[in-house]
């Protein structure tokens, strides 16, 4: 952790020699039953394995087809709701959603539909991003969901990262884990534990994102 504060550049003279840029990675996810949330924790673990990087975990509220608001203003438990300022503050973004009919969940899509001001101001442009998902069935659309989550990030001008095949688990996995992003096969009742390969690939992706963000900031410590 930076000795000069949680995020960003701190010009306080008292920090002196130890003054450096802290690289904050936003790990933004939606999770109804907890599987995608577990992947988010692993991505954050990978981010924070890089000295000088910290992960900011955030979520989005559920949406409803009725007019009334469906969620409390503050989540009862877990990560706080994301604010547009989190997009401005971050040096990189990991975006996760459960697969819903081969696509990202409506709650996450709804959030991105409200980011016009961020887009107009280019506040994500040039920052690295990656994606992750969880499914009920093994061939139920992990890759299409990962690709669908890349679309808003591309419109925002982000630089997308996948997982390279130099990660041995990518070739060996018989559960989740793809070159397009991290994934977990949770099973029809969500009871499947995260496998060693899924875990390794999620951590590797978070680490790769953090290292890339740090290099783009010009402050690599690794
Ligand atoms: C409306 C709906 C649509 C879904 N569509 C798919 C799907 O297309 N493919 C699939 O494998 N699983 C699908 N699922 C299952 C979820 O993707 C799966 O349970 C996931 O692990 C949930 O993640 P969470 O625990 O983070 O909420 C769907 C679930 C719901 C509720």
- In ligand 1, which atom is closest to the CA atom of 29? 26
**What's the per-residue H, E or C state across 4-72?**
CCCCECCCCHHHHHHCCCEEEEEEEECCCCCHHHHHHHHHHHHHHCCCCEEEEEEECCCCCCCCCCCCC
CA of 176 to the centre of ligand 1 (A): 14
Verify whether ligand 1 is closer than 6 Å to residue 178 (CB atom): no
Torsion sign over Cα 29, 183, 101, 154: positive
Q: Is the pLDDT of residue 124 over 80?
A: yes
Q: Whose CA is nearest to atom 31 of ligand 1?
A: 100
> Which pTM value belongs to this model?
0.91
Verify whether ligand 1 is closer than 6 Å to residue 35 (CB atom): yes
- In ligand 1, which atom is closest to the CA atom of 145? 8
The larger pLDDT score, comparing residue 193 to residue 77, is at 193
Helix axes 196-217, 35-48, angle to 10 degrees: 50
Q: Report the pLDDT value the prediction gives residue 128, as an integer from 0 to 100.
A: 98
Q: Is the pLDDT of residue 17 over 70?
A: no
Q: What is the mean pLDDT of residues 71-77?
A: 83
Verify whether ligand 1 is closer than 6 Å to residue 97 (CB atom): no
Q: Report the pLDDT value the prediction gives residue 219, as an integer from 0 to 100.
A: 57
**In terms of DSSP bridges, do strands 128-135 and 159-160 run parallel, antiparallel, or are they unpaired?**
parallel
Q: Report the pLDDT value the prediction gives residue 15, as an integer from 0 to 100.
A: 44
Verify whether ligand 1 is closer than 6 Å to residue 136 (CB atom): yes
Buried b (16+ CB within 10 A) or exposed e, 115-126: beebbeeebbee
Verify whether ligand 1 is closer than 6 Å to residue 190 (CB atom): yes
Among the listed ranges 11-25, 62-76, 81-95, 122-136, which one has the minimum average pLDDT value? 11-25
Dmax (CA) of the chain: 56
- In ligand 1, which atom is closest to the CA atom of 39? 26
Distance (Å) of CA 191 to CA 33, 139, 185, 196 = 10, 17, 10, 15
Centroid of chain to Cα 144: 17
Q: What is the mean pLDDT of residues 91-113?
A: 98
Q: What is the mean pLDDT of residues 147-155?
A: 98
Confidence category of residue 193, pLDDT binned at 50, 70, 90: very high
- In ligand 1, which atom is closest to the CA atom of 99? 17
Q: Report the pLDDT value the prediction gives residue 19, as an integer from 0 to 100.
A: 56
Q: Residues near 44 by Cβ (< 8 Å), separated by ≥ 6?
A: 25, 27, 55, 57, 206
Q: Report the pLDDT value the prediction gives residue 220, as an integer from 0 to 100.
A: 53
Q: Whose CA is nearest to atom 29 of ligand 1?
A: 100
Distance (Å) of CA 85 to CA 24, 65, 76, 88, 139 = 13, 27, 22, 5, 36
Among the listed ranges 19-33, 43-57, 69-83, which one has the minimum average pLDDT value? 69-83
- What totals of helices (H) and strands (E) does the chain contain, helices first? 7, 7
- In ligand 1, which atom is closest to the CA atom of 36? 26
Q: Report the pLDDT value the prediction gives residue 2, as an integer from 0 to 100.
A: 36
């Amino acid at each position: 952790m930076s000795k000069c504060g949680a995020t960003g550049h701190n010009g306080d003279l008292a920090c002196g020699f130890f003054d450096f840029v802290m690289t904050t990675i936003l790990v933004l996810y939606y999770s109804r039953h907890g599987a995608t949330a577990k992947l988010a924790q692993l991505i954050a673990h990978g981010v924070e394995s890089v000295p000088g990087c910290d992960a900011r975990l955030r979520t989005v509220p559920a949406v409803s087809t009725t007019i009334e608001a469906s969620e409390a203003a503050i989540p009862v438990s877990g990560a706080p709701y994301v604010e547009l300022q989190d997009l401005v503050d971050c040096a990189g973004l990991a975006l996760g959603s459960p697969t819903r009919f081969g696509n990202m969940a409506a709650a996450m899509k709804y959030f991105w539909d409200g980011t016009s001001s961020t887009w107009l101001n280019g506040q994500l442009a040039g920052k690295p991003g990656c994606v992750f998902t969880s499914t009920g069935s093994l061939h139920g659309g992990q890759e299409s969901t990962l690709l669908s989550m890349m679309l808003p990030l591309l419109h925002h001008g982000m630089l997308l990262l996948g997982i390279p095949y130099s990660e041995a688990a990518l070739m060996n996995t018989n559960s989740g884990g793809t070159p397009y992003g991290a994934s977990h096969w949770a099973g029809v009742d969500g009871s499947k534990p995260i496998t060693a390969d899924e875990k390794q690939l999620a951590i590797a992706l978070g680490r790769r994102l953090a290292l890339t963000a740090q290099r783009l900031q010009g402050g690599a410590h690794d």
